[in-house]
Amino acid sequence: MTDVFALPVIDSPNQPEVSPELVDLYKGFEEEYLIPLWTNIGDLMPHEPRAKAIPHLWRWSRLVGLAARSGALVPVGRGGERRAIALANPALGGRPFATPTLWAAIQYLMPSEDAPEHRHTQHAFRFVVEGEGVWTVVNGDPVAMRRGDFLPQAGWNWHAHHNSAREPMAWIDGLDIPFAYYTDTQFFEFGRDRISDEERATPDLSRSERLWAYPGLTPLVSQPSQGTPLLAYRWEHTDRALKEQLMLEQEGYGVTRDRGHAAVRFTNPVTGADVLPTIRCEMHRYRPDAQTVNQQELGSSVVQVFDGSGEVTVGDKSWSVARGDMFVIPSWVPVTIVSTASGSDSESGCLDLFRFSDAPILEAIGAHRVLQQREADK
Amino acid sequence: MTDVFALPVIDSPNQPEVSPELVDLYKGFEEEYLIPLWTNIGDLMPHEPRAKAIPHLWRWSRLVGLAARSGALVPVGRGGERRAIALANPALGGRPFATPTLWAAIQYLMPSEDAPEHRHTQHAFRFVVEGEGVWTVVNGDPVAMRRGDFLPQAGWNWHAHHNSAREPMAWIDGLDIPFAYYTDTQFFEFGRDRISDEERATPDLSRSERLWAYPGLTPLVSQPSQGTPLLAYRWEHTDRALKEQLMLEQEGYGVTRDRGHAAVRFTNPVTGADVLPTIRCEMHRYRPDAQTVNQQELGSSVVQVFDGSGEVTVGDKSWSVARGDMFVIPSWVPVTIVSTASGSDSESGCLDLFRFSDAPILEAIGAHRVLQQREADK
Amino acid sequence: MTDVFALPVIDSPNQPEVSPELVDLYKGFEEEYLIPLWTNIGDLMPHEPRAKAIPHLWRWSRLVGLAARSGALVPVGRGGERRAIALANPALGGRPFATPTLWAAIQYLMPSEDAPEHRHTQHAFRFVVEGEGVWTVVNGDPVAMRRGDFLPQAGWNWHAHHNSAREPMAWIDGLDIPFAYYTDTQFFEFGRDRISDEERATPDLSRSERLWAYPGLTPLVSQPSQGTPLLAYRWEHTDRALKEQLMLEQEGYGVTRDRGHAAVRFTNPVTGADVLPTIRCEMHRYRPDAQTVNQQELGSSVVQVFDGSGEVTVGDKSWSVARGDMFVIPSWVPVTIVSTASGSDSESGCLDLFRFSDAPILEAIGAHRVLQQREADK
Amino acid sequence: MTDVFALPVIDSPNQPEVSPELVDLYKGFEEEYLIPLWTNIGDLMPHEPRAKAIPHLWRWSRLVGLAARSGALVPVGRGGERRAIALANPALGGRPFATPTLWAAIQYLMPSEDAPEHRHTQHAFRFVVEGEGVWTVVNGDPVAMRRGDFLPQAGWNWHAHHNSAREPMAWIDGLDIPFAYYTDTQFFEFGRDRISDEERATPDLSRSERLWAYPGLTPLVSQPSQGTPLLAYRWEHTDRALKEQLMLEQEGYGVTRDRGHAAVRFTNPVTGADVLPTIRCEMHRYRPDAQTVNQQELGSSVVQVFDGSGEVTVGDKSWSVARGDMFVIPSWVPVTIVSTASGSDSESGCLDLFRFSDAPILEAIGAHRVLQQREADK
């Protein structure tokens, strides 16, 4: 209880005069575990959000480099569970939290390695920026992971990973670990130490996709697991959806989010809602030279560059970004994105960004807000 | 008011004795436009539904034959609007209603013919059992129609048809015309008499599909029209979804509705709900020799055989059915379906049935029920 | 199938020319139970609804007179179930249907009489315009009925009535019998022929009210029965709610529906939604000399005058109405209501109307519409 | 970033061996703002929640005593805004947070004092354990505050307080300040420094209640403000609802939550849902000698004793509690409550507890859980 009154007191000019009685009163508060509003209100109830996280960028080359060194030094097994290395926002007190609500990590699996089976109530996904060869086995269903694929993993489903290739593989994990930690709502269970040989199969498509990956077609059986039943969203579909949006824009139809900016959200085919109850996941594509409007969104996000390059400004930080780089957008901090003019460093010729955020939590309680500011308004 | 007391009086043994005063009382009711419950209750409040529609089968060959003769004799144009010929359930008083709530018709368009643009609040769909060459233009977006394709058309969207082929084309229309007629809730507007040359384009894929036909991917733009934004559900996806369900069943996974019976529902990708607010649409596939359980469902359905052959029993009627045949399932009437053993008359080797029903109306008010009876229970 | 082509053909000038071939074609349609759209479209798909029901008024004195004569001649018991006499809209073919979807009846119970226990899936309510002394026993809970009380009765709850007074009592019943009849969705079961002595208690408040009749307070037990758990909405609350709305209006607050027109909807306290899944029930109060705007509403309604008097215009009909009178508002037919200037014939000095409609069905499928036209716009 | 690896490491026996390379790797992590999962997983992903808050009790006499001293020393006005003193959970790092998500404070207003108008997106309520004389003015509507009254205050509504009595008055405030702080989702605006004379009226009932406080009756006007339109839930209703539940239990009906334990939830009459989007509020009454089952609930709660006395056990803490005392129930910590045998210290003869929790947040994302353990199971 030492730093109670050291909190920033910004909007409260109207403080009581210091007197022996006041000092004594404040001492009484401290003894009784009480804190007055009038010394804290500027911090607790600001006129608009003052994000506690800060904008920060992690370079993919560094992430992969350290992950590879971990591959050599740190075994994967029961207890540690995963060779996952989390982004720790520099302003969040040395916790492995990319933002107050979101966990983002690079995970790394050596050839022939297994990550053991477990399940937890935290919602998770994996996204692959490069490589292939790992299968995630979800409730016994092996799901291939390849560049561009998005694999959601709603809470309380059993899952394990195995690398069937001769190369190591890295990908990113996103979870709501900080939110579950903050609200004290986590359950976790160990599964089998080794999955069966049958589950080590390496099919091109999971059973989940064979059953669910058709546009607007819903099987008449009941849903096999908690959360979205579709366990992989393949890059070929995502890429095509983005490409067609930009082509339709060129043909004169208003189907893009902004000029030169295509975007899709990953959704649960059973409900059309966000793919995970707590995490929104989207892929954005920007034509060369496209510039987004200045946008502020309530809640926090993490972005990974999937392809291409560009200039990103988040609040008072600006970075040139390239494939694999990851950055954080804190709540209500303005963002602008400019894609590189040439686009020669990208398969589609565009800048592709994968983004995830805590928007579903805020929407569920009616608190979500987005503010877009046209260039002309600035 | 002449036949008021002629209603069937089945469950009401406890009727008052006839007397001059009673006759006089009943005369008073008649004069005041009143009808007592006690003379009608058996008809109005039966112990379980006594469907007013009856099971009935229409042969595709006859439907097409009469449609073709209409093609020669009846022009298509403003006023008549469509060369559509509706199934009239024999028990529904000579009205063009397949069931109390559902309209089902064969529509026919000659080479180079146009059906003029209009819109209406009734929800509609088209389903193609054979042929191709017609495009339905929805809010200016040309949508190809080919065998196996399902085209939903939510209410109040502009639409026209044009035949760009050298052959006539027939398909079926399903609408909630009887329900809207019964509840007096119809609005209708004429559109342009001729669509533009640009709208006469014959693209393989509509803009709607280019934007929306990806599994679990939702564009970040607002929805372009009322109801489901996906205007065509292509046979290649439906066929593959059914095929995979039966393969997964063979591999040992419980993904089918019954043994040997795969099924998908057409759903709105924005919500995961039924593709139309008032009409449920599904495709069912039965392996050779598969036999369904005896099923009763509240609300009425219409079925068209898409491929294969089998024996169908609906209440006290049984028919051998083949491609294109259409039949009606009245409310709560038991149904069993047996697919033909060989399956040589079908592309997939199976019996494929397209089915639509009024289930969404009943579900919306909490009244839907399904009763399945295993063979052993009979 | 005789009158198929006798349907009114209003909007279809573009009919084919009559020829022997056409006659032969039409004969083919008839043989195959087919009906072309082009001969029916004006009737089936009008530019706006043409209600099949007509506006009609029933005088309360006549209703009560005939009900009392029935009391003397017609016993109440198993089979006939209820001494209920239904309004039969003159344009609905001699069926006991007030509108296409709604049943409205006067029910009458002699001193010491019982109406036997039963249950049905049709949703029901009772509303009391005068008298008292009957208790409705719902799942064993006796519910008093007194002037102004509204008693909802969601489907599939057991219920019986008994008259504990020395006077006969009349009230009105509203149900969705026509809708359930039309959609073939009715289930019905007999209960006990006599309820227990304990259930013959005549408490002032039902257990349902003791548990549920508090504003914004929800018990933490699970709901005891299907549908709304609150079985009586007492006149003292309804009256007070309407009185306060008019007083607040006078104090300058915009809380009324129109100037001088207060209104409340009866709602399910568990959900805030309409009290019954298929029937909307409301009480409206009009100050002396108040005049409503001209309103059209999709779907049909039945109104009973609870108190006061006024002039009502529904489409091409106008009536002076007084306590107990009942009238029908067909779909989309314009309505205006003018309350009598003096108001001396009413307890509150105002015109009070009880209204019920099928709006929840239309809202559930997204089809509901209301059009209000200010005086100045006419 | 100093204490990163100091986190408790409980479930991770399988750690890599320390080596110079490993130390170097960990140094690399630290430089790049990265933290490995394997050193933290026991803390972040425990097998079940390990609440960060601890059970703690605040005595009402101490709270009121310190509040009264503040009344003498600390002015109320713009900037400090409110004379509110918050409970600071001893385990939450000296922040004014009762639990990770909930704020609870005693507020104190001297005779004739005003608390200035403002609004904020945080959801709030007031609950009165003793006293009267203050009116909260919400969007211009003065709402009386008296013992037992519950006043919800959904986000972004203007509100001020004024004390019209000759005595000071204390009450408690509950808000979601910590949750909004954690998610960085707060907006705040100053209103007028002084409300109008008209708003200083002291009516017995607010306009809100005159319009909305009727069981199951919904006005047909649109809702006047954000969130629940009912601004006061009066003690007379709450008390009567609890009394009737216990009487019905004695009459043999299963309407209580546990034996001798009545409870109501404060709900939004428009939706039937929790009265605030982020805070559940309930009143519980325990008969003398009643003992609850051992219960664990996911998410955190704060309880105030409204009347009576008893023994409360929360995890490893046990207290004898009396009127006004407040205590915290952290997530998933077991709770049992035993009411005092005699009950002579209470108006109703029972123990009454007011409880609020963050359950709506968890329910909105599908994460809520309650576990009840019967005595026999222990």
Torsion, Cα A96 A98 A101 A102, to 10 degrees, reads: -100
**CB–CB of A49 and D300 under 8 A?**
no
Under an 8 A CB cutoff, do A184 and D34 touch? no
Q: How far is CA A331 from CA A52, A328, B1, B203, D21, in A?
A: 8, 10, 70, 44, 38
Dist CA A302 CA B182 (whole Å): 53
The pLDDT, as a whole number, for residue B143 is: 98
First-last CA distance in chain A: 44
Interface confidence, given as ipTM, is 0.94
| Minimum-distance CB partner of D82 among A37, A81, A105 | A37
% of chain A beyond a pLDDT of 70:
94
A49-52 long-range Cβ contacts below 8 angstroms, 24+ apart:
A49/A298, A49/A331, A49/A332, A49/D184, A49/D185, A49/D186, A49/D187, A50/D184, A51/A300, A51/A330, A51/A331, A51/A332, A51/A333, A51/D184, A52/A91, A52/A92, A52/A100, A52/A330, A52/D184
Interaxial angle between packed helices A60-73 and D20-31, expressed in degrees from 0 to 180 and rounded to the nearest 10:
160
pLDDT in the model for residue D96:
97
Tokens encoding D111: 């005779």
Q: Look over chain B and give the mean of its residue pLDDT values, rounded to a whole number.
A: 93
Q: How far apart are CA D260 and CA C143, in angstroms?
A: 26
The torsion angles phi and psi of B106, rounded to 5 degrees, stand at -95, 130
Torsion angle in degrees (nearest 10) through CA of A200, A203, A204, A209 = -100
Nearest-CA distance D1 → chain C (Å): 47
| Residues in Cβ contact with B307 at an 8 Å cutoff, skipping those fewer than 6 apart | B323, B346, B347, B348, B350, B351, B352
- Within 10 A of D254 (CB to CB), how many other CB atoms are there? 10
By Cβ distance, the residue of A73, A188, A362 closest to D183 is A362
Alpha-carbon distance B241 to C138, whole Å? 49
From chain B, pick out residues whose CB is under 8 angstroms from the CB of C77: 14
Torsions phi, psi of D62, nearest 5?
A: -70, -40
Alpha-carbon distances, residue C254 vs D142, D202, D277, D378 (angstroms): 17, 21, 26, 58
Say what the pLDDT of residue D12 is: 52
Whether residue C225 is predicted with pLDDT greater than 70 in this model: the reply is: no
Residue showing tokens 């397949």: B98
Q: Measured between CA atoms, how close is D98 to chain A, in angstroms? A: 9
Q: How far is A264 from chain B (nearest CA, A)?
A: 4
Which helix (H) or strand (E) segment holds residue A311: the answer is strand A310-314
Considering only the beta carbons, identify the residue of B19, B25, B121 that sits closest to C66. Answer: B25
Q: Which residues of C touch B69 (CB under 8 A)?
A: 21, 25, 28
Provide the 8-state DSSP code for B309: -
Phi, psi of D60 (to 5 degrees): -60, -40
| Banded pLDDT at D373 (limits 50, 70, 90) | confident
For the entire predicted model, the pTM comes to 0.95
Cross-chain residue pair A32–D58, CB shorter than 8 Å: yes
pLDDT of residue B228: 93
* CA-to-CA separations, B314 to A168, B295, C187, in angstroms, rounded: 60, 10, 21
B262: which residues sit within 8 A by CB, 6+ positions away?
B241, B242, B243, B245, B246, B249, B256, B284, B285
Average pLDDT over residues D45-70: 97
In this structure, what token pair is assigned to residue D375? 């005595």
Confidence (pLDDT) at C221: 84
pLDDT given for residue B226 in this prediction: 74
The whole-angstrom separation of Cα A165 and Cα D361 is: 43
Q: Chain B residue closest to C226 (CA)?
A: B366
Q: C-alpha angle with apex C301: C298 to C305, nearest 5 degrees?
A: 140
Q: Any chain A CB within 8 A of the CB of D82?
A: yes
Return the closest-CA partner of residue A248 out of B134, B219, B154.
B219
Average pLDDT, chain C: 93
CB neighbours of A135 closer than 8 A, spacing ≥ 6?
Answer: A142, A143, A144, A145, A161, A162, A164, A200, A202
Mean pLDDT (whole number) for A301-309: 98
B339-354 core/surface letters (b: 16 or more CB in 10 A; e: else): bbeebeebebbbbbbb
pLDDT at position C262 is 97
CA distance A60 to A58: 6
User: Does C270 sit within 8 Å of D220, measured CB to CB?
Assistant: no
User: φ, ψ for residue C125 (rounded to 5)?
Assistant: -150, 165
**What is the percent of chain D where pLDDT is above 90?**
88
Cβ distance C212 to C220 under 8 Å? no
Give the C-alpha separation, C271 to C277, whole Å: 11
The reply to whether B271 touches chain A by the CB within 8 Å rule is yes
d(CA A319, CA D212): 55
Q: DSSP letter string over B47-59?
A: SS---SS---EE-
- Let me know how many helices (H) and strands (E) chain D has, helices first: 7, 23
Q: Write down the pLDDT at residue C137.
A: 98
**CA B48/CA B333 separation, integer angstroms:** 11
Do C184 and B49 make contact, defined as CB atoms within 8 angstroms? yes
Residue pair C133/C165 in contact (Cβ under 8 Å)? The answer is: yes
Sheet strand arrangement including B124-127: B150-153, B124-127, B169-175, B103-109, B84-87, C34-36
- Contacts C41 to B, Cβ<8 Å: 79-81
Structure-token pair, residue A320: 């040139």
| Angstroms from A367 CA to nearest CA on chain D | 8
> Sorting pLDDT into bands at 50, 70 and 90, what band is D13?
low
Strand order in the sheet with A351-357: A57-58, A326-329, A301-307, A351-357, A280-286, A261-266, B217-219
Q: What is the pLDDT of residues B28-80, one digit of tens each?
A: 999 999 999 999 999 999 999 999 999 999 999 999 999 999 999 999 999 89
Q: Which residue has the tokens 């596939």?
A: B285
Q: Which of A95, A42, A55, A86 is nearest to A332 (CA)?
A: A55
- 3 state DSSP class of C309: coil
- The rounded distance, in Å, linking the Cα atoms of A185 and A134 is 30
State percent of chain D over pLDDT 70. 94
Structure tokens at C200: 């013959």
Contacts of A150 in chain B (CB under 8 A): none
- pLDDT for B3 equals 36
Mean pLDDT, chain A, rounded, equals 93
Helix, strand or coil for residue B328?
A: strand
3-state secondary structure (DSSP) of residue D14: coil
Cβ–Cβ under 8 Å, residues D144 and D205: yes
B22 touches chain C (CB under 8 A): yes
Distance of residue C155 Cα from the nearest chain D Cα, in angstroms: 18
Report the alpha-carbon distance of residue C216 to residue C202 in Å, rounded: 27
Average pLDDT over residues B261-275: 96
Rounded percentage of chain C residues whose pLDDT exceeds 90: 88
- For residue B221, what pLDDT is reported? 84
Q: Tokens for C197, please give them.
A: 């002595």
Q: How far apart are CA B169 and CA A304, in angstroms?
A: 50
CB of D18 within 8 Å of a chain A CB? The answer is: no
> Judging by beta carbons within 10 Å of its beta carbon (0-12, 13-18, 19+), is residue D250 exposed, middle or buried?
exposed
Residue A13 pLDDT > 70, yes or no? no
Give the chain A residue nearest D188 (alpha carbons): A47
- For residue A6, pLDDT beyond 50: no
3-state secondary structure D222-259: CCCCCCCCCCCECHHHHHHHHHHHHHHHHCCCCCCCEC
Is B245 an 8 Å CB contact of chain C?
no
What sign does the dihedral A52-A57-A63-A66 (CA atoms) show? Answer: negative
Q: Kindly report the nearest CA distance between residue A248 and chain B, in angstroms.
A: 8
The Cα–Cα gap between B242 and B286 comes to 9
**CA distances in angstroms from B334 to A360, B297, B330, B354, D370, listed in the order given:** 44, 8, 9, 18, 43
Q: Residue C119: CB partners within 8 Å, gap ≥ 6?
A: C155, C156, C157, C158, C159, C188, C189, C191
Q: Residue A352: CB partners within 8 Å, gap ≥ 6?
A: A242, A283, A284, A285, A286, A305, A306, A307, A308, A346
Residue A8 has pLDDT above 50, yes or no: no
Provide the pLDDT for residue A378: 40
Model confidence at C292, pLDDT cuts 50, 70, 90, reads confident
pLDDT of A316-368, one tens digit each? 999 999 999 999 999 999 999 999 988 788 999 999 999 999 999 999 999 99
Sheet (strand D261-266) strand order: C217-219, D261-266, D280-286, D351-357, D301-307, D326-329, D57-58
